[in-house]
Amino acid sequence: MYLADEAWTDLEEYFENESLALVPLGSTEQHGPHLPESTDHVIAQGLAREAADRTGYLCTPTINVGVSPHHRQFPGTMWVDAPAFRDYVESFSRNLTYHGIDRIVYVNAHGGNVQHLREVGRRLHESGDAYAIEWMWDESIPDLVNDSFEHNGPHAGPKETAMVMHLRPELVHDDRLADARDGGWMDFDFAGATVNGARTFYDSVENAANGAFGDQTDATPEKGERLFEAATEQLVELCEWLAAREADELVPRPHV
């Protein structure tokens, strides 16, 4: 069920019987020369809508702009400051609790959002208003992701390329895949971007002139479909697990 497509009378019935909502979040930021800036929110929305369709749970509109200042040097990248993002998502979530939602899954597809969504979840948990958890699609299927690509890449790499090939193939510049690989950092390794254990970079452009990592030529729509199906299954199972929890399992434990 997609909230924005429903009449309030139908939503009223949902809120009377269910208490879980999926909130897709992504970013609008550079994803190399071959992918659209909508990559992250396309993936998040696709997964959240599919899981909602399969389970009957509510999916909200997508939060399209996230915490992305580390991509600011690339034209068109949009971002909001981290405190503003956290406050917005918290307010957005409290809006849901007003209607009776007390379980929220943040369906996230942007690494820059992770720590901030977890902080919002902590705030909502501590206040007792909701149990909100952050879910990152590729972290739910790490073995499949790693086995699918020889040179994966943490950003604008073959995993995201394959997912967009599956979801929105018309947005992928297939003729630029080799350029994305050759102009970026194919063999990216976080250890190669540290000195004595200290992270030595702040912005994406410091490591890849075109903002891309990994071997994009290894992506195919078929691989994207396999990743999408596997991640959707994980998300559906997570929703069912959360919906089955008793209310007293989701509130803060008392002081020892």
pLDDT averaged per 10 residues, the chain (length 256): 96 96 98 98 98 98 98 97 98 97 98 98 96 98 96 95 98 98 91 85 93 97 98 98 94 90
Rounded to two decimals, the pTM is 0.95
**What is the pLDDT at residue 71?**
97
Distance (Å, whole) CA 226 – CA 234: 12
Neighbouring CB atoms inside 10 A of 250's CB total 15
3-state secondary structure 2-69: EHHHCCHHHHHHHHHHCCEEEEEECCECCECCCECCCHHHHHHHHHHHHHHHHHCCEECCCECCCCCH
How far apart (Å, rounded) are the C-alpha atoms in residues 6 and 208? 43
Q: What is the pLDDT of residue 189?
A: 82
* 3-state secondary structure at position 219: coil
194-195/131-136 β-pairing: unpaired
Could you tell me the domains of the chain?
Answer: 3-249 (3.40.50.10310)
* Predicted pLDDT of residue 194: 87
